[in-house]
């Protein structure tokens, strides 16, 4: 995820308002942010995915209403996400099911800083050397054991642990550089 400037973002939004097929670029720019925002509040992975998809669908449907006022596009997406999460929680309560697991909301600014950091972290995973990237993805996104990963990649468990270590080290360093 490359960072874009405010004016670039504005151009992207205007382009997408005229031609919805340009929305894909806004999606790519903001996917990790929205996902991280939702994931911090909703622990369940399937629900996080549903809500993330919903946020982008809503954003696309309402893009024409978006007015540029100098606040980042992401803030608008966070608002949509926040509403969607609240709606979901209300619906669940009505249905008598479990409440959506809400994670404590600390001060908003600090929270958004965390979300941005996490979005950068997710984006950084894409930039890892291929073998490290795969181990990180299999281990954390797919929650596979070291043994399963070793089998899938045809390498020793020691080698996988080593790649996990190097991958995390690289991610830490990349976050530090920002």
Partner 1 sequence: MAERSIIDQLDDAVTALLAKPAIDWSVEDPAVASLVAIAQELRDLPHEEFRKQLATEFKGENMSTPRMKVDPIPKDYPIVSPYLVFDNAAAAIDFYKKAFGAEERMRFAEPDGKIGHAELRIAGGVILLSDEYPDYGAVSPKTVGGSPVKMHLWVEDVDAFAERAVAAGAKIVRPIEDQFYGDRAGQISDPFGYTWILSMRKENVSPEELQRGMDEWWEQNVSKDSDDRSSESTADTKPAGVHTVTPYITVKQPAELIDFLTQAFGATEKFRTTGSAGGIHAELNIGDSIVMVGGAEHIEAMPTAIHLYVPDVDDTYRRAIEAGATSVMEPMDQPYGERGAGVEDISGNRWYIATTFVPLQEIAKDLRTVTVYFHPIGAQSFIDFVTNAFGGTELMRSATAEGFIEHAKVQIGDSVIELGEARHPSQPLPTAIYMYVKDVDAMYERAVKAGGISMKPPTDQDYGDRSAWVKDPFDNVWYLAAPKTA
Q: Which residues bind partner 1 (CB under 8 A)?
A: 19-24, 27-28, 31-32, 35-36, 39-40, 43, 45, 48-49, 52-53, 56-57, 60, 117-118, 121-122, 125, 130-131, 134, 136-137, 139-143, 145-146, 152-155, 161-162, 164-165, 168-169, 171-172, 175
Structure tokens at 121: 């972290």
Q: Report the C-alpha gap between 33 and 74 in whole angstroms.
A: 7
The values of phi and psi at residue 15, to 5°, are: -65, -45
- Choice between 54 and 94, CB closer to partner 1: 54
Residue 155 CB, nearest approach to partner 1 (Å): 8
**Which letter does DSSP use for residue 64 in this model?**
G
Q: Which residues are CB-contacts of 50 (< 8 A; sequence separation ≥ 6)?
A: none
Residue 25 CB, nearest approach to partner 1 (Å): 9
Task: Using alpha carbons, select from 137, 132, 143, 142 the residue that is nearest to residue 165.
Answer: 132
- Choice between 90 and 158, CB closer to partner 1: 158
Q: With beta carbons less than 8 A apart as the criterion, state whether 52 and 38 touch.
A: yes
DSSP run (H or E) holding 111? helix 108-125
The values of phi and psi at residue 100, to 5°, are: -60, 130
Residue 142's CB: how many other CB atoms inside 10 A?
10
**Which letter does DSSP use for residue 22 in this model?**
G
Residue 96 CB, nearest approach to partner 1 (Å): 23
- Choice between 48 and 88, CB closer to partner 1: 48
Residue 94 CB, nearest approach to partner 1 (Å): 26
- Choice between 95 and 143, CB closer to partner 1: 143
Residue 70 CB, nearest approach to partner 1 (Å): 25
- Choice between 95 and 106, CB closer to partner 1: 106
């Amino acid at each position: 995820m490359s960072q874009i400037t405010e004016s670039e973002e504005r151009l992207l939004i205007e382009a997408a308002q005229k031609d919805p097929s340009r929305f894909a670029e806004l999606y790519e720019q903001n996917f990790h942010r929205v996902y991280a925002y939702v994931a911090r509040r909703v622990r369940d992975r399937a629900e996080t995915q549903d809500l993330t998809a919903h946020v982008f669908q809503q954003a696309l449907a309402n893009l024409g209403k978006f007015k540029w006022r100098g606040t980042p596009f992401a803030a608008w997406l966070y608002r949509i996400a926040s509403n969607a999460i609240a709606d979901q929680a209300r619906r669940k309560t009505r249905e008598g099911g479990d409440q959506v697991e809400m994670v404590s909301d600390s001060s908003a600014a600090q929270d958004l800083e965390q979300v941005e950091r996490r979005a950068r972290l997710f984006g950084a995973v894409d930039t890892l050397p291929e073998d490290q990237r795969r181990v990180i993805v299999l281990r954390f996104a797919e929650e596979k054991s070291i043994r399963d990963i070793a089998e899938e990649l045809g390498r020793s468990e020691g080698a996988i642990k080593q790649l996990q270590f190097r991958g995390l080290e690289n991610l830490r360093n990349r976050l530090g550089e920002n």
